[in-house]
Structure 1
Amino acid sequence: MQVKTFPLGPLETNCYVLSNEGKAIAVDPGGEPTAVIDFLKEEGLTLTHILITHFHFDHLYGIKALHEATGATVISGSDDVFLLDTEVGQGGMWGFPKVDPFTFTSIEEGDHAFMDLECKVFATPGHSPGSLSFFFPAAQVVFVGDLLFFRAIGRTDLPGGDFDVLKKSVTEKIFALPPETVVYSGHGPSSSVKDEQINNPYFSDFQR
């Protein structure tokens, strides 16, 4: 499986395009997706699904346009739906633009498959109540949205956020993965489970 990163939108949200044997999925298209669409065409990839980690506006801006351009099914959890009735989900806060309305299919925690590859979907609340993480065991990669960043964590002061719940999600779900698992976050550089266990100030004493 190949992973291509596209920082999109006003907050440079990482949109990830995963590809395998001519099929592709996108994770969190947070801005105008022209670059993603061009990449899919150049590589001859068919986008089958758009996976959404959570319903904060900066992860949603490109969903409608990408869906209309590709016909890909939009997938997300259902526990963040209430956010779409707030500025946190629909946009408009802090002077940012509104999100174009979109439809989606809800998914539950458990074992699923995309691009003919196994995907374990984890409910990882804390940054938002409905935050999901997507783990692909064969490639040893996990997409966590804004749950966990390179040596940092997501904010918990927005509606439904909870610091203690976030820490529990990270320790019980993400840190239970193999240490070499690459962690792809919603913003900034990637990391690994082992690196965050050792170096993230919210979870370690910086022991070597």
Structure 2
Amino acid sequence: MSIETFPLGPLETNCHVVINGSDAVVVDPGGDLNGGLGEVLALLKDRQLTLRAILCTHFHFDHIYGVAALHEATGAPVYGPAGDASLLDTELGGGGAWGFPAVTSFKWEDLKEGTHTFGSLRCEVLLTPGHTPGSVSIRFPDLNAVMTGDLLFYHSVGRTDFPGSSQDALRKSLHKKIFILPQETAVYPGHGPNTNVGEELANNPYLWL
């Protein structure tokens, strides 16, 4: 198993491709065909991978720009958190915020908390609100890795000044869902470099939250 990461779209959102044999899932495709998504499609084609699912950690526009195009190109089903459904009708979810273009709409199914299997890929969805009301983190236990979206970054945390955000909820999500994981667990965030749970416990200046 392996993970390939592509910074995509106008805010260089990390799109993570998780691969096991001939199966793959894509987490947070944040760029369209003109914003780097072609690199993801080329990877799938070159390695002859079957995309089993498109997973969204939350429904902010910069994390979902490529969802519709990726679904159209592959036929893979789309999953996202029901708690963020209302965001898709706002500029932060549907696009238009800060002058960025609109997001092409797409059909999706609820990515419920708990264990899921997509082809040969097994993951655990953790409900981790704070940055958004329904934000989830996606843990791949066979890789000892968790994808945190915009909940947790290298030495930083997600913004909580957006409508629907909550600093208190983010703090609880970090301490009850992420920092209970083994310290060697790799953290693949929505922006910036990777880190791990132990590194953030020791050095993240925002843990006073």
Same fold (TM over 0.5): yes
User: Which secondary structure does the structure 1 equivalent of 2:69 belong to?
Assistant: helix
Q: Aligned to 1:161, what secondary structure does the other structure show?
A: coil
CA distance in 2, matches of 1:9, 1:180: 30
Given that residues 19 and 115 in structure 1 are in contact (C-alpha distance below 8 angstroms), is that contact kept between their aligned partners in structure 2?
Answer: no
CA distance in 1, matches of 2:122, 2:182: 16
Question: 183, 197, 201: which one pairs with 1:197?
Answer: 201
Q: Which residue of 2 aligns with 1:142?
A: 146
Whichever residue aligns with residue 174 of structure 1, its letter is I
Q: CA deviation at 1:115?
A: 3.6
In structure 2, the CA distance between the partners of 1:117 and 1:46, relative to structure 1 (3 Å rule), is closer
Q: Which residue of 2 aligns with 1:24?
A: 24
* 1:78 maps to 2:104: no
CA distance in 1, matches of 2:17, 2:122: 16
Shift of 1:113: 1.6
**What secondary structure, in the 3-state scheme, does the structure 2 residue paired with 1:89 have?**
helix
1:118 Cα deviation from its structure 2 partner: 2.7
CA shift, 1:41, in A, is 0.4
Equivalent in the alignment of 1:160 = 164
Q: CA RMSD in A?
A: 0.9
Q: Which amino acid aligns with 1:141?
A: A
- Cα deviations by residue, 1:53-81 (Å, 9 ceiling, x for unpaired): 00000001000000000011101110101
TM-score w.r.t. the length of structure 2 is 0.95
Letter in 1 for 2:151: L
1:203 aligned counterpart, secondary structure: coil
- Secondary structure of the corresponding residue to residue 80 of structure 1: helix
Alpha-carbon deviation of 1:117? 3.3
SS of the residue corresponding to residue 193 of structure 2 reads: coil
5+ unaligned residues in a row in structure 2: which ranges? Answer: none
Contact 1:23 1:115 in 2 (8 A): yes
**Alpha-carbon distance in 2 for matches of 1:169, 1:30:** 23
Larger mean Cα displacement after TM superposition, 142-151 or 109-118: 109-118
Shift of 1:179: 0.7
1:79–1:130 CA contact under 8 A, matched in 2:
yes
Residues paired across the two proteins, number:
204
| Unmatched 5+ stretches in structure 1 | none
Secondary structure at 2:82 match in 1: coil
Which residue of the partner structure matches residue 91 of structure 1? 95
